[in-house]
């Protein structure tokens, strides 16, 4: 049985290129990397979508807000051998 034909489409959220089966054209699919959902084969409306950089910055801000841990003190990086 021959393999179904596929096409490549970038994720409108993270920009990763995905190989999508032609059988999924017009259906909603999810990016395997960022899990964003979009319609296969449909070009994003660039005038409606925020720039990719802004989407990424918004994701970074959200992750930073969710982070509750403080960075570990690493004495080797600071040149110390014992914590001050």
pTM: 0.47
pLDDT in tens, 7-43: 899 988 888 899 999 999 999 999 999 999 999 987 7
Q: Rounded to whole angstroms, how far apart are CA atoms 83 and 45?
A: 53
Sign (positive or negative) of CA dihedral 58, 63, 68, 73: negative
Taking the domains of the chain in order of start, what are their residue ranges? 6-65
Q: Rounded to whole angstroms, how far apart are CA atoms 43 and 65?
A: 32
Q: Rounded to whole angstroms, how far apart are CA atoms 23 and 55?
A: 29
Torsions phi, psi of 61, nearest 5? -60, -40
- Say if domain 6-65 classifies as CATH 2.20.28: yes
């Amino acid at each position: 049985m021959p393999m179904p034909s596929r096409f490549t489409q970038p994720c409108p959220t993270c920009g990763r290129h995905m190989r999508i089966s032609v059988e999924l054209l017009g259906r909603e699919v999810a990016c395997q990397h960022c899990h964003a959902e979009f319609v296969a084969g449909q070009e994003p409306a660039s005038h409606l979508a925020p720039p990719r950089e802004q989407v990424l910055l918004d994701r970074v801000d959200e992750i930073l807000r969710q982070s509750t841990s403080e960075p570990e003190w690493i004495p080797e990086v600071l040149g110390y051998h014992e914590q001050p």
